[in-house]
């Protein structure tokens, strides 16, 4: 038996897991979870409806893309998904947080405000692959409703839409400039930050038809990077040595720190008030600001769980490495990260986030 990845082309985190597994050289079969498979296989195993899920040959289930990646990093030989240097590793986890937890805003905005009818049908095809088109559209409307309802909760509203677009296009410009110099985030080979960024940039922003046009027209370099990862064209370059953080990555970090770090701090304050070990998925709403536009977004403690991996890596740095990381933070509006302390340590229990 081989590994099975329950995943779908329209799913953000499926793209991340799939691209990683292909790069790692893992033999796996991908199965799209119809309503039937979700009900009979994934719900009993995981307890809530989510993808991607990995089933191992011995029948264990792994959920959460970070856990899927850690599983193979610990068990497989071959190249490591982490870049060479400890500060590069720290920056990787910051970009991981940015990709997973903040680029979801433009991903959801463009999907639902530019591709709604198309994506609803995709939801229907996934749920009932054998039904006729009319039925698929009907079921897709029902299934998609839950994801669509998330859009304003994430902070995508008529008031913020323009600012989200400006931020995304700015991000594309910054990432394009980096890709003029390097094929991937840390040089000539992909690493974890590439797979993380591939999540939002593939399924929603490259594959959804209207979003695809925008990416290709505005940032063909980024579209080509997506294609390199999708098609397995990794080239024969090397990762950057010497724990160097390329200057061209600084604008990406600065965007994360300016836009998302205040949100993470606000969620952390709410986390401090939690007593129960079982955390709700959102702790209320918190404000965010993009340039001079302010909105409200769900206070998702999961975002802090991703940040925790960066904070843990920061703690492993020696004096010189800490000074190096601090210079990067100071150059990217990230000084608040130097003394960032999690209000509670987080873990996962039974495939759900919990206080450790």
Ligand X SMILES: N[C@@H](CCC(=O)N[C@@H](CS)C(=O)NCC(=O)O)C(=O)O
Residue whose CB is less far from ligand X, 153 or 177: 153
What x/- string results for residues 122 through 151 when contact with ligand X is judged by CB under 6 A?
------------------------------
For residue 196, give the nearest of 69, 346, 105, 325 by alpha carbon.
Answer: 69
Q: Which structure tokens are listed for 190?
A: 């992909």
Query: Of the two residues 14 and 212, which places its CB atom closer to ligand X in the complex?
Result: 14
Interface residues for ligand X in 20-59 (CB under 6 A)? 50-52
Residues 178-237, interacting with ligand X (CB under 6 A): none
Interaction between residue 65 and ligand X (CB under 6 A): yes
Footprint (CB under 6 A) of ligand X, residues 2-21: 11-14
Report how far residue 258's alpha carbon sits from residue 28's, in angstroms, rounded to the nearest whole number. 39
253: exposed, middle or buried (Cβ count in 10 Å: 0-12, 13-18, 19+): buried
Closer Cβ to ligand X, 260 or 324, answer by number: 260
Between residues 24 and 224, which has the closer beta carbon with respect to ligand X?
24
For the bound state, the minimum distance from the C-beta of residue 102 to ligand X, rounded and expressed in Å, comes to 13
104 contributes a contact to ligand X by CB under 6 A: no
> CA quadruple 27, 91, 154, 164: dihedral positive or negative?
negative
What does the alpha-carbon distance between residue 95 and residue 91 come to, in Å, rounded to a whole number? Answer: 6
Closest-CA residue to 256 (of 98, 104, 96):
98
Using CA atoms, how far apart are residues 123 and 310, in angstroms rounded to an integer? Answer: 34
> Minimum Å distance from CB 39 to ligand X?
14
Quote the tokens at residue 38.
């979700």
Q: Which CB, 167 or 303, lies closer to ligand X?
A: 303
State the nearest-atom distance from the C-beta of 170 to ligand X, in Å: 24
The footprint of ligand X (CB under 6 A) covers 11-14, 50-52, 64-65
């Amino acid at each position: 038996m081989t590994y099975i990845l329950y995943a779908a082309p329209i799913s953000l985190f499926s793209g991340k897991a799939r691209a990683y597994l292909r790069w790692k050289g893992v033999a796996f079969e991908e199965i799209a979870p119809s309503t039937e498979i979700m009900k009979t296989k994934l719900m009993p195993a995981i307890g809530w409806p989510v993808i991607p899920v990995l089933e191992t040959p011995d029948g264990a289930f792994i959920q959460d893309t970070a856990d899927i990646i850690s599983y193979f990093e610990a068990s497989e030989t071959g190249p490591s998904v982490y870049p060479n240097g400890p500060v590069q590793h720290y920056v990787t986890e910051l970009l991981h947080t940015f990709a997973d937890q903040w680029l979801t805003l433009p991903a959801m905005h463009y999907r639902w405000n530019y591709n709604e009818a198309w994506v609803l049908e995709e939801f229907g095809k996934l749920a009932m692959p054998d039904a006729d088109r009319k039925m698929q559209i009907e079921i897709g409307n029902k299934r998609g409703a839950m994801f669509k309802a998330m859009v304003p909760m994430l902070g995508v509203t008529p008031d913020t839409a323009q600012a989200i677009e400006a931020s995304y296009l700015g991000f594309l410009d910054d990432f394009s400039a980096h890709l003029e110099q390097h094929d991937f985030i840390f040089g000539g080979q992909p690493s974890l930050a590439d797979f993380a960024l591939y999540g939002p940039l593939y399924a929603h922003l490259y594959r959804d038809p209207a979003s695809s046009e925008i990416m290709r027209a505005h940032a063909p370099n980024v579209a080509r990077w997506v294609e390199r990862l999708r098609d397995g064209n990794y080239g024969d370059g090397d990762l950057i040595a010497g724990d160097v953080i390329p200057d061209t990555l600084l604008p990406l970090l600065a965007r994360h720190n300016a836009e998302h770090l205040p949100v993470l701090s606000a969620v952390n304050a709410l986390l401090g008030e939690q007593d129960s070990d079982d955390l709700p998925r959102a702790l209320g709403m918190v404000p965010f600001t993009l340039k001079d536009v302010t909105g409200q977004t769900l206070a998702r403690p999961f975002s802090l769980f991703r940040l925790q991996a960066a904070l843990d890596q920061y703690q492993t740095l020696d004096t010189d490495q800490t000074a190096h990381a601090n210079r990067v933070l100071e150059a990217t509006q990230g000084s608040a990260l130097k003394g960032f302390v999690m209000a509670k340590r987080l873990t996962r229990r039974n495939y759900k986030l919990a206080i450790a």
